[in-house]
Amino acid sequence: MMKSKIVLITGASSGIGASTARRLVNDGHKVALTARSEEKLASLVHELGDDVAVAFPADATQYSAIQQVVEDAVAHYGRLDATFANAGVGLSAAGTENGDVDEWDTMIDINIKALLWTAKATLPHLKQSQGHFVLTSSAAGRMSIKGSIYGASKWFAYGFGRNLAEEMAEWQGRCTTICPGMVNTPFFDEPKEDKLQPEDVAEAVSYALNADPRNNVREVFLMPSKMG
């Protein structure tokens, strides 16, 4: 029988994060949710049930804030078994020459620093439970895309995930890097109905977390069946 896990999800208020929360609760796990939108988190907790979900609104780009979230989550549930570092943002201006440096600054804070802060804050607790760290990179982090600063940030996430997996393996911890292609989320201004859906990524996270402990699923690479 599968053991119920306590899972912290960042970027949990919508899209992939919210879909993953629903999937994991359906799997029998309990979730601690964090994002900046208090209203959206409260609505998701109401939907899932406060016996299996709790919300701690915070800005994941601030280390002290994410550290407090982790402490509050552990105080609430008593332990932490897994983390899904999902917070991320894209760019409206493409390329290097025409890029917006203020957008770059924001993106680096969320896509890189928030990932690092989440790992640093949760690893001591995951070490105690021989737990699991899951992170969202991207297909863009596995291939070269002309002038993509966003892709470069996801290259960082991809490399960090691979390196973290080696670090965690020393104490039988597991680390999984999720690399989805285009996903139909609020990330885009227009719907992308023919692309991956948030539920597809949630399914990948579920697969990795629910794998037998002997099976360290290091990477899940997802692409839409319909290309173009």
Range name among 20-24, 97-101, 214-218 with the lowest pLDDT average: 97-101
pLDDT at position 1 over 70: no
- Among candidate residues 63, 150, 158, 207, the one labeled active-site is 150
Q: Which residue has the tokens 């890097």?
A: 177
Residue 212 banded pLDDT, cuts 50, 70, 90: very high
> Which amino acid appears at position 193 of this protein?
E
Percent over 90 (pLDDT), the chain? 89
Average pLDDT value for the chain: 94
Q: For residues 66 and 91, which has the higher predicted lDDT (pLDDT)?
A: 66
Output the pTM of the full model. Answer: 0.94
CA distance linking residue 191 with residue 202, whole number of Å: 19
Q: How would DSSP label each residue in 26-39?
A: HHT-EEEEE-S-HH
CB 91 within 8 A of CB 101: no
Average the pLDDT over 167-183 and give the result. 97
Mean pLDDT of all residues in 199-224:
97
186-205: pLDDT as tens digits: 655 565 677 899 999 999 99
The reported pLDDT for the residue numbered 186 is 64
DSSP string, 119-171: HHHHHHHHHHHT-EEEEE--GGGSS--TT-HHHHHHHHHHHHHHHHHHHHHTT
Domains of the chain in start order, with CATH, are 6-222 (3.40.50.720)
- Residue 49 reports pLDDT greater than 60: yes
Residue 150 a catalytic site member: yes
Contacts of residues 192-201 at CB distance under 8 Å and 24 or more positions apart, as own/partner, are 194/224, 194/226, 195/224, 195/226, 196/222, 196/223, 196/224, 197/19, 198/15, 198/16, 198/18, 198/19, 198/20, 199/19, 199/23, 201/16, 201/19, 201/20, 201/136
Distances (CA, A) of 57 to 53, 70, 137, 186: 13, 11, 23, 19
Look at residue 227 in the predicted model and tell me its pLDDT. Answer: 66
Nearest Cα to Cα of residue 141 among 179, 193, 84: 179
Position 59, amino acid: D
